[in-house]
Structure 1
Amino acid sequence: MVLATDWVRLLIVCLTFTAAAAAIVRLTGLTAVMPFFTAATRAVLQLAAVSAVITFVLGHLGLTGLFLVLMAAVATATSAKRTGARRGAWVAAPILIGTVPALVLLVAIGLLPLKGISLIPVGGILIGGAMTATTLSARRALDAFQERHGEYEAARALGFHERDAVCLVIRQPAAEALVPALDQTRTVGLVTLPGAFVGMLLGGAPVWQAGALQIVVLLALLAVEAAAVAVVVELIARGLIRRTSQDSEVRLT
């Protein structure tokens, strides 16, 4: 049973970390403070809501599927907002292109039981990784396209098709979004102990089983994020993900 004093300690720690993050960015002039308080508040409210319904959801496979759809929808909306994409619906493609096959494969070969208790955590990890890769790659690619528009125009003048000219400019900046996933995989066990590993250990699973699941999740995450970045590059190159100002720039060339 959780005591009142435990909740007080939890509240103090959460407020301390949030205030520290806000103070750091304020004092160093990195960015605005309010997004940190907003993110912290949303995290508390969302986790409280999920905690209230998760037991019921986990017991019903149909509700588990709906919950995964909700997770993907929120990830798409978040990524679309962060990238400033004019056609936000297209952002769903890179998030789902690798996540869905990865989950199907894990279930098909028996590594992931067809149960909510397994599908939601692993699905959440893969969707979250795809969302992050999509956001970072799209932002960097769109910024590069804007900043290096002269290179795009030069490539077009040399006879490159529009898709190839855009890819020439954005491919490398977009690929930088894979650095966090690569570093996490390279340093797992030495620097990081990811959530799936720690969660299984806390749940009483053998160390070898926790390690096996974690390596599968990490490698699946690499594939999912690589697919997300590749699709982002293709969609931007074909003009399906663009900022409004960049659409007008392309039409003028």
Structure 2
Amino acid sequence: MDQSVARFAELPGIKTAVYTDNTSHIGEMVSYITQLYVDCFKHFGWLKTEIPFYNRVLCGNSGSFAKLVPKDSVLSQLFEYLPEDGSKIAQSPVAFHRHFVILPDFYSVSGLLWINSAQQLFMCLSECSVIRDTVIISPGRYAYLSELLEQYDSLLNPSIEEWTKEKEISYHKVLRDSKLYWGDPFYSHYLKMKILGAIEEVLFTTNTLKEIAINQKFGKYSLLYKTFKRYGIDLAKIPRFSKI
């Protein structure tokens, strides 16, 4: 979400919406992006399907929300991260993303900040939460897998077993540690990360689906389409925000 809201903030259409105070439009898009990722995470098995992770969109000026702070623990925590005035925020939208814990829940808040036409600090943020005890922190000894993931390219190395052998790493250790670190085999997690990269390109660029398939190392569009279908994600329904 951190990376996505940063790209979202740079879209010409969003800057126009900010200048024209079309906040309802921005709120709808922030809500859509959040729900899209939540749905993906549920398809991936990262979130339980019965958990309503997404809560609400907070859209308005900081002055009006300040009145609600004493009664709203999330806003109270959130205001500690907001600038005290608009000196660091321009009229152009700035991406915002924070994690924090308010027991018993873990919260994620993402979206945009800007100075509106009335020179007020305005925000349009999506709020998500999950029970803190359901968040499992994997041991640091498995962090080497993230580096391997960045190096791996299925087009150049179709056999993970051969690839790990060349790197003098135990293939069976990688498989075992991947299940403990990500809850997935190495290749399954690799595919899911490629899907997230492709979703970001679909949302925020004008690249064709063929170009996106190449950029995200699917090789060709048919493999991109099949991978999305495999995880129950309808590629055709994802909007091209960069074209709006």
Could you say which structure has the greater relative contact order, defined with CA pairs below 8 angstroms and 6 or more residues apart?
1
Report which of the two has the higher share of helix: 1
**TM-score normalised to structure 2 length:** 0.28
Report which of the two has the higher share of strand: 2
